[in-house]
Amino acid sequence: MADGITHDSEILAREVVARCQTLSRLSEDRESICRTFLSPPMRDVHREISGWAAACGATSTLDAAGNIRLLYPALDSDAPRFLIGSHLDTVPNAGAYDGVLGVVLGIALLSGLRGRRLPFAIEVIGFSEEEGIRFRRPFIGSRALAGTLDDKLLGEQDSAGISIRQAIQNYGLHADEIADAAIGEDVFGFLEFHIEQGPVLDKVGQPLGIVESIVGQSRLEFTFVGQSNHAGTTPMESRYDALAAAAEWIVAVEQKAVRTSGLVATVGAILAKPCATNVIAGETRVSLDLRHRDDETRKSAVEYFIQRAEDIITRRGLKLIWCVGLDQPAVLMSLSLLHEVEQAFRKADLTPFRMASGAGHDAMILAEKVPSAMIFLRTPGGISHDPAETVELGDVAKAIECGLHLLERFTSSSEFMGKRKNA
């Protein structure tokens, strides 16, 4: 590559895959991959990543939200910064690449620079939380950088009654320093590498894709409240069955989503109480995950599902409690940064392929503050959030090439570094 940047992308790609596999063994569960917000395995993950970064000439710090931040210095101390990163937490029974790949790829780009300093600093970030598993609230890590991790969110509790604030304190960090994690005006952009987690790139035969938008997302929780009673002695017409009411509503959710183009709706968690074979469920709590690229369509669907639940409980003589856990608008990526990424694709002999992301990502949070972009890597078989999740070595090599070409474009021209969001 020009101006002294030399690399062997295939060698770096093999190292990236091996490092993702190394991190996959650092888990809360013995038989599967699971890392939630500031759980004990995160300390081991941070230790490994810090060592890899140090070998590239980057220093490691941990901010108050538990994000590991790897700073590769610029030629000048007052130079602007470019951010590269993704998340280090996982869903239960996860694959080895979701989130982690984006962090390890960022370190690979530092390695590819071979010690060369650029006119801007590079900060690789491993976000502490994105999945929303432990506290049912996603994007804790990136919200800290965006300056939107407020006191209300810090007060959210996990199933053990531990708040986010307390979890931070328990990890040895200081929640009252959260504001210091926010990025400033010196940051001119953010790039997130991530596996697609879907079948589009695999079907069209493209190794990489350029994300131009991230769909809006709603997460709600519904609790159907009836009356527990004996399963054998209570006639069908005298029952107030919370689980049956929830089941009727779940079918309505699926039917509405099938009828609405582009809408995806998922009930992924069900908790029935008292959860006994011979007892009618007196309470059933269910989750709802709803996504669409058009916010009005998504919001209309939310209203429909709430009304359907109200209709069902009224007819059955039950009660309903519901709450909104997430209302995330659809996000467009920066047009100017997308243009730079497209040019990097062409330099790597790839045809730019634009697409939307059906999953939420940290880039949608950072996009509130700085020009942001995402590069998707093909997910063979479209399988993710599962141990069968994998990547192609050649795709990883191409991602490294694109990343280095993008850094080179910034290096050869200071024009983009002076632009801000949506320029």
* CATH at residue 303: 3.30.70.360
Q: Are both 164 and 235 inside the same structural domain?
A: no
Residue 253 has pLDDT above 70, yes or no: yes
Q: Are both 258 and 287 inside the same structural domain?
A: yes
Using DSSP, state whether 259 is helix, strand or coil: helix
Return the structure tokens found at 150: 């407020």
Q: Are both 205 and 237 inside the same structural domain?
A: no
**C-alpha 115, offset from chain centre:** 30
Higher pLDDT, 8 or 280: 280
| Residues in Cβ contact with 282 at an 8 Å cutoff, skipping those fewer than 6 apart | 225, 226, 227, 228, 229, 240, 242, 273, 274
6 band by pLDDT with thresholds 50, 70 and 90? very low
412 band by pLDDT with thresholds 50, 70 and 90? confident
Residue 3 has pLDDT above 80, yes or no: no
**What pLDDT, on the 0 to 100 scale, is given for residue 7?**
54
| Residues in Cβ contact with 304 at an 8 Å cutoff, skipping those fewer than 6 apart | 256
> What pLDDT, in 10s, does the model give residues 289-339?
999 989 999 999 999 999 999 999 999 999 999 999 889 899 999 999 999
**What pLDDT, on the 0 to 100 scale, is given for residue 372?**
97
pLDDT mean over 382-408: 96
Q: Tell me the chain's radius of gyration from C-alpha atoms.
A: 23
Backbone angle region of 13, left / alpha / beta, with phi > 0 → left and psi within -120 to 50 → alpha? alpha
What are the distances in angstroms from CA 371 to CA 82, 194, 337, 363, 410? Answer: 10, 17, 7, 9, 14
Evaluate whether residue 94 is within a structural domain. Answer: yes
11 band by pLDDT with thresholds 50, 70 and 90? very high
Higher pLDDT, 77 or 243: 243
H/E element, 209: strand 208-214
Q: Are both 227 and 263 inside the same structural domain?
A: yes
Residue 1 has pLDDT above 50, yes or no: no
Q: Are both 221 and 209 inside the same structural domain?
A: no
Residue 5 has pLDDT above 70, yes or no: no
Portion of the chain with pLDDT greater than 90, in percent: 92
> What pLDDT, in 10s, does the model give residues 56-75?
999 999 999 999 999 999 99
Residue 2 has pLDDT above 60, yes or no: no
Q: Which of 328, 358, 374 is the last residue of a domain?
A: 328
State the chain's mean pLDDT as an integer: 94
Cα–Cα nearest to 265, from 218, 312, 224: 218
Q: Are both 256 and 178 inside the same structural domain?
A: no
Amino acid (1-letter code) at residue 155: G
Q: Are both 205 and 65 inside the same structural domain?
A: yes
Q: Are both 301 and 374 inside the same structural domain?
A: no
Say how far apart CA 71 and CA 51 lie, in whole Å.
13
Evaluate whether residue 4 is within a structural domain. Answer: no
**What pLDDT, on the 0 to 100 scale, is given for residue 366?**
97
Q: Which of 275, 304, 328 is the last residue of a domain?
A: 328
Q: Which of 277, 312, 328 is the last residue of a domain?
A: 328
4 band by pLDDT with thresholds 50, 70 and 90? very low
Return the structure tokens found at 161: 């009654």
Evaluate whether residue 275 is within a structural domain. Answer: yes
419 band by pLDDT with thresholds 50, 70 and 90? low
> What pLDDT, in 10s, does the model give residues 71-84?
999 999 899 999 99
> What pLDDT, in 10s, does the model give residues 93-132?
999 999 999 999 999 999 999 999 999 999 999 999 999 9
Q: Are both 24 and 145 inside the same structural domain?
A: yes
Residue 227 has pLDDT above 70, yes or no: yes
pTM (2 d.p.): 0.84
Cα–Cα nearest to 223, from 344, 321, 81: 321
Evaluate whether residue 423 is within a structural domain. Answer: no
Evaluate whether residue 2 is within a structural domain. Answer: no
CATH label of the domain that carries residue 398? 3.40.630.10
Residue 386 has pLDDT above 70, yes or no: yes
Q: Are both 268 and 414 inside the same structural domain?
A: no
Using CB atoms within 10 Å of the CB of residue 109, give its burial: 0 to 12 exposed, 13 to 18 middle, 19+ buried: buried
**What pLDDT, on the 0 to 100 scale, is given for residue 414?**
65
DSSP summary character for residue 284: E
**What pLDDT, on the 0 to 100 scale, is given for residue 126?**
98
**C-alpha 228, offset from chain centre:** 38
Q: Are both 101 and 200 inside the same structural domain?
A: yes
> What pLDDT, in 10s, does the model give residues 23-41?
999 999 999 999 999 999 9
Residue 413 has pLDDT above 50, yes or no: yes
**What pLDDT, on the 0 to 100 scale, is given for residue 410?**
95
- Number of CB atoms found within 10 A of residue 243's CB: 19
Q: Are both 256 and 120 inside the same structural domain?
A: no
> What pLDDT, in 10s, does the model give residues 137-186?
899 999 999 999 999 999 999 999 999 999 999 999 999 999 999 999 99
pLDDT mean over 388-394: 97
Evaluate whether residue 1 is within a structural domain. Answer: no
> Angle, to 10 degrees, between the axis of helix 41-55 and the axis of helix 100-112?
20
**What pLDDT, on the 0 to 100 scale, is given for residue 353?**
97
**What pLDDT, on the 0 to 100 scale, is given for residue 417?**
66
Domain extent for 70: 9-215+330-418
pLDDT mean over 209-237: 96
Q: For residues 297 and 240, is the Cβ–Cβ distance under 8 A?
A: no
- The tally of domains found in the chain comes to 2
Cα–Cα nearest to 186, from 105, 119, 129: 119
Evaluate whether residue 14 is within a structural domain. Answer: yes
Cis ω for the linkage preceding 40 (within 30 of 0): no
